[in-house]
């Protein structure tokens, strides 16, 4: 009886307060819903102007472009995740792009939100979820980097990369650029017009390999912009001829290639540009022939008839020579490949006439350097590391032979160097020389 009376009283109390809250909910319910919607939209608001906003997810109504894969490196990708339209004030669109670089770890990509106005200009950019190497976090290295995108159209003119974090910042830039793709292809905004110089500059990573971050050098004559490779293995020039602009690449061995804005190789037709570019490079390029020759004397006894050769590849090869030893012709290459912490390694290779590596060495591999131990806890080379290269040819080289798990960045640089000298060797053997 007592129990029943107790429960009866409790039920009455629940009913009374339940009724009161039910009535109150008519008043507070809509306000709470609006607050919750606001909280969910906070991440979209971050890339939109101030003011009251409402969003509609229009992803399903659009034709999304194919996932972007960078020609410079297939680990650099960008993919459209969602597109939201701001409906209250017609501020524009928020595009969510998932992006990766060669330094992205784990299974989750990075995510960037790009706010784009209806006239095709960036309102703001905000990156959520960063999974690249933490030591090269572009947003820590340069907290103002995202602000360089504000106000730009799809051309992203004058938006550069973050020094010391080239991989991640180039991938991030590509992702932001790709965010325009879905809006342009669905005729929601007009694409920005890139200048010829910008198009040609964006061509550089596709026609060169391993140049690193380019630094601006003094231009002259018809050369309107001169860019020097970080590892000093070449120059890239934007050259004007009349109303047209061209890209001229000169490597450290003196070879030159010229491209037009369509990306076509027009070297044969642009002799004047080739001459001017080569002249500028010869005056400014560091000559590594002596460096290679000096090393050669230590690597192989009796090296004679050392002759400089010009290789027609535009990668990390800084010098190439032929020589004879014991009546056999060999080819020697110096590659300046960029490893951990943007450190350049001088790596030397001697290849026989059949394209097999006879010997290799480096002035100092990055992971032999004292302060690398502080970073990776790894010091020194595995046993017989250098000997492991002997006999490898361009056809048999897989790359796995050179990778060291505790020093992937630098050993990948060695892998790239090895690939580059094989490419250089092929260009020498397959060319006129």
Partner 1 sequence: MTFEMILGILLASIFSENIALVESLGAGAVLENHRSTKRSLLLGLGTTVVMLISTAITWALNSYVLKNVAYLQTLVFVFVVLVVVELMYIAAKKLFNCCKYDFVMFTINGAVLGLCVQSAELTFVSAIITAIAVGIGFMLTTTVYAKLKDTLVYQDAIPEAFRGLPISLLTAGIMVLAMLALQFSL
Partner 2 sequence: MKTNKLSELLKGTPSLLLMLGAGFVMASSSNLQAALGMGAAVLISMLLASLVLTALCKFIPAYAQLPAYLLIITGFVSIIGMLMQAWLPDVANMLGIHLATIAVSAVIYRKGEESAEGNIFPINTALVTGVYLTVIMLVSALIREFIGSASIWGQPIEFMANYKISAIAGAFGGYLVLAIVTAIINKLTSARNTEEKEDK
Q: Which region among 17-25, 49-57, 104-112, 344-352 touches partner 1 (by CB under 8 A)? A: 17-25
Q: Please choose which of partner 1, partner 2, none residue 215 contacts, taking the beta carbon within 5 to 8 angstroms, the exact cut-off set by kind.
A: none
Q: Please choose which of partner 1, partner 2, none residue 31 contacts, taking the beta carbon within 5 to 8 angstroms, the exact cut-off set by kind.
A: partner 2
Contact set with partner 2 (CB under 8 A): 2, 5-6, 9-10, 13-14, 16-17, 20-21, 24-25, 27-28, 31-32, 35, 39
Q: Which is nearer to partner 1, 130 or 397 (CB)?
A: 130
| Rounded Cα gap, residues 160 and 214, in angstroms | 10
Q: Please choose which of partner 1, partner 2, none residue 282 contacts, taking the beta carbon within 5 to 8 angstroms, the exact cut-off set by kind.
A: none
Q: Which region among 22-30, 204-212, 322-330, 350-358 touches partner 1 (by CB under 8 A)? A: 22-30
**Please, what is the minimum distance in Å from the beta carbon of residue 18 to partner 1?**
6
Q: Which region among 18-26, 54-62, 63-71, 349-357 touches partner 1 (by CB under 8 A)? A: 18-26
Residue 177, number of CB atoms within 10 A of its CB: 21
Strands ordered across the beta sheet of 244-251: 215-217, 223-228, 234-241, 244-251, 256-259
Q: Please choose which of partner 1, partner 2, none residue 364 contacts, taking the beta carbon within 5 to 8 angstroms, the exact cut-off set by kind.
A: none
Q: Which is nearer to partner 2, 4 or 283 (CB)?
A: 4
Q: Is 431 in the site for partner 1 (CB under 8 A)?
A: no
The two three-digit tokens of residue 415, written as one number? 């892998």
| Rounded Cα gap, residues 317 and 229, in angstroms | 12
Instruction: Bin 355: left if φ > 0, else alpha if -120 < ψ < 50, else beta.
Output: left
Write the secondary structure of 315-361 as one string of H (helix), E (strand) and C (coil).
CCEEEEEEEEECCEEEEEEEEEEECHHHCEEEEEEEEECCCCEEEEE
Q: Which region among 3-11, 68-76, 129-137, 383-391 touches partner 1 (by CB under 8 A)? A: 3-11
Q: Is 35 in the site for partner 1 (CB under 8 A)?
A: no
Annotate 115-172 with DSSP letters as a single string.
EEETTS-EEEEEEE---B-GGG-HHHH-TTGGGGGTT--TT-TT----TT-HHHHHHH
What's CA 367's distance to the chain center, in Å? Answer: 23
When binding is defined by CB under 8 A, the residue of 1, 4, 5, 17 that contacts partner 1 is 17
| Rounded Cα gap, residues 160 and 177, in angstroms | 12
**Please, what is the minimum distance in Å from the beta carbon of residue 8 to partner 1?**
12
**Please, what is the minimum distance in Å from the beta carbon of residue 12 to partner 2?**
9
Q: Is 6 in the site for partner 1 (CB under 8 A)?
A: yes
**Please, what is the minimum distance in Å from the beta carbon of residue 53 to partner 2?**
17
Nearest to 348 by CA among 398, 417, 285, 254: 417
When binding is defined by CB under 8 A, the residue of 8, 14, 34, 244 that contacts partner 1 is 14
Q: Please choose which of partner 2, partner 1, none residue 22 contacts, taking the beta carbon within 5 to 8 angstroms, the exact cut-off set by kind.
A: partner 1
**Please, what is the minimum distance in Å from the beta carbon of residue 5 to partner 1?**
12
Helix (H) or strand (E) holding 412: helix 408-430
**Please, what is the minimum distance in Å from the beta carbon of residue 256 to partner 2?**
54
When binding is defined by CB under 8 A, the residue of 8, 10, 34, 271 that contacts partner 1 is 10
What's CA 112's distance to the chain center, in Å? Answer: 16
Nearest to 110 by CA among 86, 79, 149: 79
Residues 225-264 that bind partner 1 (CB under 8 A): none
Q: Please choose which of partner 2, partner 1, none residue 20 contacts, taking the beta carbon within 5 to 8 angstroms, the exact cut-off set by kind.
A: partner 2
Residue 141, number of CB atoms within 10 A of its CB: 15
Q: Which region among 21-29, 54-62, 221-229, 361-369 touches partner 1 (by CB under 8 A)? A: 21-29
| Rounded Cα gap, residues 219 and 217, in angstroms | 6
| Rounded Cα gap, residues 363 and 365, in angstroms | 7
Q: Please choose which of partner 2, partner 1, none residue 370 contacts, taking the beta carbon within 5 to 8 angstroms, the exact cut-off set by kind.
A: none
Could you list the residues that contact partner 1 (CB under 8 A)? 3, 6-7, 10, 14, 17-18, 21-22, 24-25
């Amino acid at each position: 009886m007592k129990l029943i009376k107790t429960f009866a009283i409790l039920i009455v109390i629940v009913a009374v307060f339940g009724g009161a809250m039910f009535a109150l909910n008519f008043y507070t319910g809509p306000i709470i819903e609006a607050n919750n919607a606001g909280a969910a939209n906070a991440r979209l608001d971050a890339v939109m102007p101030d003011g009251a906003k409402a969003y509609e997810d229009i992803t399903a109504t659009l034709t999304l472009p194919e996932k972007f894969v960078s020609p410079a490196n297939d680990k650099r990708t960008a993919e459209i995740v969602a597109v939201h339209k701001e409906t209250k004030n017609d501020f524009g669109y928020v595009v969510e792009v998932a992006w990766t670089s060669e330094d992205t770890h784990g299974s989750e990509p990075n995510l960037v939100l790009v706010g784009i106005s209806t006239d095709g200009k960036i309102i703001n950019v905000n990156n959520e979820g960063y999974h690249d190497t933490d030591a090269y976090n572009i947003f820590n290295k340069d907290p103002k980097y995202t602000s360089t995108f504000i106000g730009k159209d799809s051309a992203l003119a004058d938006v550069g990369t973050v020094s010391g974090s080239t991989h991640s910042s180039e991938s991030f830039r590509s992702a932001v650029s790709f965010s325009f793709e879905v809006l342009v292809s669905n005729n929601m905004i007009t694409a920005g017009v890139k200048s010829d110089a910008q198009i040609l500059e964006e061509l550089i990573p596709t026609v060169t390999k391993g140049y690193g971050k380019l630094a601006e050098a003094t231009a002259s004559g018809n050369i309107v912009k001169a860019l020097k490779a970080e590892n000093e293995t070449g120059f890239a020039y934007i050259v004007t001829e009349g109303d047209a602009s061209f890209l001229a690449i000169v490597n450290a061995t003196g070879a030159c290639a010229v491209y037009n804005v369509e990306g076509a190789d027009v070297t044969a037709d642009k002799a004047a540009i080739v001459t001017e570019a080569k002249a500028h490079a010869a005056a400014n390029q560091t000559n590594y022939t002596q460096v290679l020759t000096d090393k050669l004397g230590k690597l192989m006894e009796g090296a004679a008839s050392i002759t400089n050769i010009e290789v027609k590849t535009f990668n990390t090869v800084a010098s190439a020579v032929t020589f004879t030893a014991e009546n056999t012709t060999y080819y020697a290459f110096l590659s300046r490949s960029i490893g951990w912490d943007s450190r350049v390694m001088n790596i030397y290779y001697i290849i026989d006439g059949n394209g097999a590596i006879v010997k290799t060495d480096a002035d100092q591999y990055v992971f032999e350097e004292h302060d690398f131990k502080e970073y990776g806890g790894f010091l020194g080379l595995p046993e017989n590391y250098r000997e492991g290269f002997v006999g490898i040819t361009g056809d048999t080289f897989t790359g796995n032979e050179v990778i060291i798990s505790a020093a992937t960045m630098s050993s990948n640089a060695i892998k790239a160097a090895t690939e580059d000298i094989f490419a250089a060797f092929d260009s020498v053997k397959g060319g006129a020389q």
